[in-house]
Each structure stands twice: as structure tokens, then as C-alpha cells.
């Protein structure tokens, strides 16, 4: 959950989060002050951008595994809405695995222009020559280490599963 440190005095709680320090009466519940905080702290990877959290257990799976994993938890597969969110998502990568699934495929309209619920994309960062539109085949979208989006037709490929709160 980024850089954080909590210190307690007799009456106040001091919470340092990245470059900010928050001071609360000791009896105030931190989970009530930061929306999504109680859900976000249960994951190995957590990044907050504005009011959105990206969370992951840093485990790979297929595209369908990713959708199912997020859905079971009442979340959705990650989809950056701006450059800052796209950069935050690339921070999940470590080791040899350098891809993460995004909430975009071609089932709804065939052209990778909407998310899985059919909402038009408001941001995209397609790599060179992307999105490659298949002839009737299913394609799924991955975020690469460079932050570019790419289509793969092997939706059973193992990539990081990242959800958003």
C-alpha cells in the first residue's frame, strides 16, 4: 500500500502515507476515512491513484481466470482511465512475468473499443500496430512492461491478475 507508517500517541494517530501525514483522534477508524482502504490492504500489491485502487496478489492466470477472480471479490479487472493509472499498473511487474490483463476484449463489438461491460474506452495506450483485430477470433488485452497495450489471441496465456476497487 505504498509507503506507509503508523505511529500512535495517547490521543492521536499519525499516519504517514507517501509524502502526506494525517492526524486523527485515536478512536477514529482509519478504514472509515479512506474509501477502499479496508479492501485494499488485503493484497500483496496495492496502488492508489486518486480514488481508485489497483490490487493484486501478484499471481498469474488466464484472462478468464482474471475476470473470475475479480468478479468473485466484487471487483472488476483493471482498466486505466488515464496516463497516471497506466503507469501505476506497470508497478506490479517483477521477475520474468511482464504482462497484466486489462478489462478489454473484442467480444462486445469486435474492435477493442469498449470494456467488458460495453462502455467506450476513455483512454488507451495501444502499442505500435495495435489493436490487431482478428477475423472472428477472440482477442484479449494485456498491459506490457513499457505501459503499452497489446492484443493476444492466446487468452489462456498467464499474465498478472490486477483488479480495481
Q: Which residue has the higher pLDDT, 148 or 91?
A: 148
Task: Work out the angle at residue 103's Cα, subtended by the Cα atoms of residues 162 and 114, and round it to the nearest 5 degrees.
Answer: 165
Give 125-156 pLDDT, tens digit per residue: 999 999 987 666 788 999 999 999 999 989 99
Give 49-86 pLDDT, tens digit per residue: 998 999 999 899 999 999 999 999 999 999 999 999 99
Q: Which residue has the higher pLDDT, 102 or 139?
A: 102
Q: pLDDT band at residue 40, thresholds of 50, 70 and 90?
A: low
Domain ranges of the chain: 1-32, 35-164
**Cα separation of 162 and 130, whole Å?**
22
Can the peptide bond before residue 131 be classed as cis, meaning omega within 30 degrees of 0?
Answer: yes
Residue with cell 494517530: 13
> What's the confidence (pLDDT) of residue 35?
46
> What's the confidence (pLDDT) of residue 106?
85
> What's the confidence (pLDDT) of residue 45?
84
DSSP state for residue 132 in the 8-state scheme:
P
Q: Hey, which bits of the chain come out as E strands?
A: 4-8, 12-17, 20-25, 45-49, 52-56, 60-61, 76-77, 99-105, 140-144, 149-152, 159-160, 163-164
CATH code for 35-164? 3.10.100.10
Amino acid at each position: 500500500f505504498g509507503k506507509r507508517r503508523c505511529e500512535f500517541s495517547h490521543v492521536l494517530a499519525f499516519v504517514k502515507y507517501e509524502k502526506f501525514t494525517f492526524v486523527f483522534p485515536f478512536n477514529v477508524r482509519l478504514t472509515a476515512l479512506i474509501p477502499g482502504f479496508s479492501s485494499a490492504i488485503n493484497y500483496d500489491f496495492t496502488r492508489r491513484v486518486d480514488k481508485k485502487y489497483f490490487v493484486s496478489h501478484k499471481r498469474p492466470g488466464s484472462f478468464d481466470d482474471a475476470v473470475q477472480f475479480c468478479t468473485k471479490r466484487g471487483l472488476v479487472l483493471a482498466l486505466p482511465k488515464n496516463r497516471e493509472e497506466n503507469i501505476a499498473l506497470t508497478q506490479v511487474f517483477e521477475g520474468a512475468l511482464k504482462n497484466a490483463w486489462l478489462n478489454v476484449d473484442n467480444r462486445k463489438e469486435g474492435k477493442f473499443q469498449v470494456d467488458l461491460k460495453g462502455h467506450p474506452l476513455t483512454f488507451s495506450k495501444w502499442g505500435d500496430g495495435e489493436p490487431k483485430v482478428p477475423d472472428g477470433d477472440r482477442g484479449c488485452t494485456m498491459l506490457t512492461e513499457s505501459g503499452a497495450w497489446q492484443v493476444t489471441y492466446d487468452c489462456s496465456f498467464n499474465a498478472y491478475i490486477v483488479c480495481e476497487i
